[in-house]
């Protein structure tokens, strides 16, 4: 029997799945080449179907914070699965996960569980409009809130990566009430605004933190016109801090969205708010929202297992790992003479080529237009380090990444940085001749 190869699977995938992938950024479109097909993962590592090992900084775009196949998660999922996988009646796990989430996030009384971050943001938006009776939603350029129609406009992540401003198939009507504004500037709001959506740490256009005081100013701007403030903590939730960005920055939104970390690698999202706001949801109120697999027993078991591991010590370790990574990468680029920024917020690490840290989406796009990312990506991949195959994603060091892993990453980075410096030099020479 001929062994599976990435090439053969990709080719079969292309026949039956558009682009061969079930999420666009996996397709390697912006970096070129054939995606590796993962056969298995363990801790900080994944192995592709050809048996090649990669040190993994994708970690399912942040869904995996303990590393892959953590024994506590596997055990919890296995135990849950033996009892039945879905019932359409409430289960204890849903109550326990909701209790855990609410206990950790300051100001959040209630959550409803859904099955993805997209669903969380879409439902939160409906809730905000239902509660306020207002139509408009304000979002920041380059922020990603999943792929629901109203929130796709000028989205980060894969939307940015494919060079799209939004999507075909989204009618003018669907986005007529969406206002896109530049990040890190407090927008003019009026009394038609139901909600201002924000990634409190923008992490889908590379990593572009809010400037000092920005979130508090945004809070005040919302209060002046009675608009709700929504923190999309699908990435930051339970990652940047035990209480997410809300605790880290000590600014309280009215509505929250979560995903990724809280599912422990299974499909879960959640949106939450005060009991008063949440009482507008069906069956109590007239904002409808539902889901056959919402609060799925396997997913809640995995989420609870992950949260149990996320002790204060775990956050300290995660941040120390991320700091070592960011500092190591910055010095690797510095020594090679490559202008690069390695922003870090808690355990999140970004990378921009260029001499200045971007402050908004236009800045981020300018950095990406420099074109170094594909060389960086493939240079690292060929040295066994897997990064996201798109320049607008961040790196997700996990609790399974060791000091030795970071050292290896930095060593590889130094070599790739030297390659980038040499290529830049060559291009400059050609320009001259
Ligand atoms: C990933 C992400 C989403 C969408 O979550 P999915 O589970 O992919 O639907 C929404 N908001 C933010 C900030 C994200 O990073």
- Concatenated DSSP letters of 64-131: -SS-BT-HHHHHHHHHHHHT-S--SS--HHHHHHHHHHHHHSTT--EEEEESSHHHHHHHHHHHHHHH
Residue 11: count of CB within 10 angstroms of its CB: 12
Determine the distance separating the centroid of ligand 1 and the alpha carbon of 156, expressed in angstroms.
10
Please state the φ and ψ torsions of residue 71, each to the nearest 5 degrees: -55, -40
Which residue is it, tokens 């009892």?
83
- The closest alpha carbon to 114, from 289, 237, 283, belongs to 289
What mean pLDDT comes out for the span 149-167? 75
Cβ neighbours for 18, distance < 8 A, ≥ 6 positions apart: none
Q: Residue 431: its pLDDT value, please?
A: 85
Q: Which residues of the chain are in CATH 3.90.1150.10 domains? A: 6-69+311-432
**What confidence category does residue 13 fall into, taking pLDDT thresholds of 50, 70 and 90?**
very high
Determine the distance separating the centroid of ligand 1 and the alpha carbon of 113, expressed in angstroms.
14
Please state the φ and ψ torsions of residue 408, each to the nearest 5 degrees: -65, -40
Q: Could you say which of 3.90.1150.10, 3.40.50.150, 1.20.1440.230, 3.30.1490.20 is the CATH number of the domain covering 6-69+311-432?
A: 3.90.1150.10
**What confidence category does residue 433 fall into, taking pLDDT thresholds of 50, 70 and 90?**
confident
CATH entry 3.40.640.10 includes domain 71-309: yes
Alpha helices (H) in 370-402, listed in sequence order: 373-382
Cβ-contact 421, 336 below 8 angstroms: yes
Q: What is the DSSP letter of 34?
A: P
Q: Which residues of the chain are in CATH 3.40.640.10 domains? A: 71-309
Cβ-contact 55, 64 below 8 angstroms: no
Structure tokens at 287: 């904002």
Instruction: Tell me if residue 61 is catalytic.
Output: no
**What confidence category does residue 243 fall into, taking pLDDT thresholds of 50, 70 and 90?**
very high
Determine the distance separating the centroid of ligand 1 and the alpha carbon of 146, expressed in angstroms.
5
For residue 1, pLDDT over 60 is answered with no
Q: Which atom of ligand 1 is nearest to the CA of 269?
A: 7
Instruction: Tell me if residue 10 is catalytic.
Output: no
**What confidence category does residue 157 fall into, taking pLDDT thresholds of 50, 70 and 90?**
confident
Which residue is it, tokens 């994603």?
393
- pTM score: 0.96
SS3 132: helix
Instruction: Tell me if residue 232 is catalytic.
Output: yes
Determine the distance separating the centroid of ligand 1 and the alpha carbon of 69, expressed in angstroms.
21
Q: Residue 162: its pLDDT value, please?
A: 65
- The whole-angstrom separation of Cα 250 and Cα 74 is 34
Residue-wise pLDDT for 95-148, tens only, equals 999 999 999 999 999 999 999 999 999 999 999 999 999 999 999 999 999 999
Residues with CB under 6 A from ligand 1: 116-118, 121, 144-146, 199, 204, 232, 234-235, 259, 269
Find how far residue 387's CA is from the centre of its chain. 14
Residue-wise pLDDT for 383-398, tens only, equals 999 999 999 999 999 9
Among 36, 144, 315, 373, the active-site one is 144
Q: Residue 73: its pLDDT value, please?
A: 98
Residue-wise pLDDT for 255-308, tens only, equals 999 999 999 999 999 999 999 999 999 999 999 999 999 999 999 999 999 999
- The whole-angstrom separation of Cα 216 and Cα 71 is 40
- The whole-angstrom separation of Cα 352 and Cα 142 is 15
- The closest alpha carbon to 340, from 358, 320, 362, 359, belongs to 358
SS3 410: helix
Structure tokens at 206: 């590379």
- The whole-angstrom separation of Cα 175 and Cα 222 is 21
- The closest alpha carbon to 100, from 268, 308, 248, belongs to 308
């Amino acid at each position: 029997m001929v062994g599976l190869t990435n090439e053969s699977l990709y080719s079969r995938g292309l026949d039956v799945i558009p682009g061969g992938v079930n999420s666009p950024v996996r397709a390697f479109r912006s970096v070129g080449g054939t995606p590796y097909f993962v056969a298995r993962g363990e801790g900080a590592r994944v192995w592709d179907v050809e048996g090649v090992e990669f040190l993994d900084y994708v970690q399912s775009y942040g869904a995996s914070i303990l590393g892959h196949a953590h024994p506590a998660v596997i055990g919890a999922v296995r135990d849950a699965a033996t009892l039945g996988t879905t019932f359409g009646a409430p289960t204890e796990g849903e109550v326990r996960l909701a209790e855990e989430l609410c206990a950790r996030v300051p100001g959040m009384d209630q959550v409803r569980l859904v099955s993805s971050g997209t669903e969380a943001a879409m439902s939160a938006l409906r809730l905000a409009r239902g509660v306020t009776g207002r139509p408009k939603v304000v979002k920041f350029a380059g922020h990603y809130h999943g792929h629901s129609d109203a929130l796709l406009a000028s989205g980060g992540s894969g939307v940015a990566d494919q060079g799209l401003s939004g999507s075909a198939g989204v009618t003018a009507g669907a986005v007529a009430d969406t206002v896109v504004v530049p990040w890190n500037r407090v927008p003019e709001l009026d009394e038609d605004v139901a909600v201002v959506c924000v990634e409190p740490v923008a992490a889908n256009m590379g990593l572009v933190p809010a400037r000092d005081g920005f979130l508090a100013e945004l809070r005040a701007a919302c209060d002046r016109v009675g608009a709700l403030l929504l923190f999309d903590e699908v990435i930051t939730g339970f990652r940047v801090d035990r209480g997410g960005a809300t605790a880290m920055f000590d600014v309280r939104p009215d509505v929250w969205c979560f995903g990724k970390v809280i599912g422990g690698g299974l499909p879960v999202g959640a949106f939450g708010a005060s009991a008063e706001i949440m009482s507008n949801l069906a069956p109590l109120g007239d904002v409808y929202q539902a889901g056959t697999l919402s609060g799925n027993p396997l997913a809640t078991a995995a989420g609870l297992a992950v949260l149990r591991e996320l002790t204060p010590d775990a956050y300290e370790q995660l941040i120390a790992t991320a700091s070592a990574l960011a500092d190591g990468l910055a010095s690797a680029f510095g020594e090679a003479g490559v202008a690069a920024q390695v922003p870090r917020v808690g355990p999140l690490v970004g990378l921009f080529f260029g001499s200045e840290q971007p402050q908004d989406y236009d800045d981020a796009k300018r950095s990406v237009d420099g074109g170094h990312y594909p060389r960086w990506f493939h240079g690292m991949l060929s040295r066994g380090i897997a990064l996201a195959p798109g320049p607008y994603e961040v790196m997700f060091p996990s609790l399974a990444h060791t000091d030795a892993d970071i050292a290896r990453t930095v060593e590889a980075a130094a070599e790739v940085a030297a390659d980038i410096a040499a290529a830049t030099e060559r291009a400059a020479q050609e320009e001259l001749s």
